[in-house]
Amino acid sequence: MTRLAQAERQALADLLLDLGPDQPTLCEGWTTRDLAAHLVTRERRPDASAGLLIPPLRGHLERVRRQIAGRPYAELVALVRIAPWWSPVSNPLIEPFTNTIEFFIHHEDVRRGQPGWQPRALSRDQEQALWTPVRAMGRFALRRFRATVVLRAPGYGERTAGSGGARVQVIGTPGELAMFLSGRQRSARVQVDGPPDMVARLRAARLGR
CATH numbers and ranges of domains, the chain: 2-112 (no CATH), 125-204 (3.30.1050.20)
pTM here? 0.94
Q: Angle 56-60-63 (CA atoms, 0-180°, nearest 5)?
A: 145
3-state SS, residue 115: coil
* Residue 120 three-state SS: coil
Mean pLDDT of the chain: 93
Model confidence at 32: pLDDT above 60: yes
Q: Average pLDDT in the 175-184 region?
A: 97
Reported as a single tens digit per residue, the pLDDT across 117-162 is 999 999 999 999 999 999 999 999 999 999 999 999 999 999 999 9
Q: How far is C-alpha 33 from the chain's CA centre?
A: 17
Q: What is the mean pLDDT of residues 18-27?
A: 98
The average pLDDT across 60-88 equals 94
Of 25-29, 95-99, 187-191, the one with minimum mean pLDDT is: 95-99
**Least-confidence region, from 20-29, 69-78, 87-96, 155-164:** 87-96
Half-sphere exposure of 49 (CA within 13 A, CB side): 15
Decide: 33 and 68 in contact? Cβ < 8 Å: no
Distances (CA, A) of 109 to 35, 149, 181, 185: 9, 24, 14, 12
State residue 51's pLDDT score. 79
Q: Where are the beta strands (DSSP E) in 51-195?
A: 148-153, 157-162, 167-171, 191-193
Which H or E element spans position 68? helix 58-69
pLDDT tens for 33-64 read 999 999 999 999 989 888 788 888 889 989 99
CA distance 76 to 81: 9
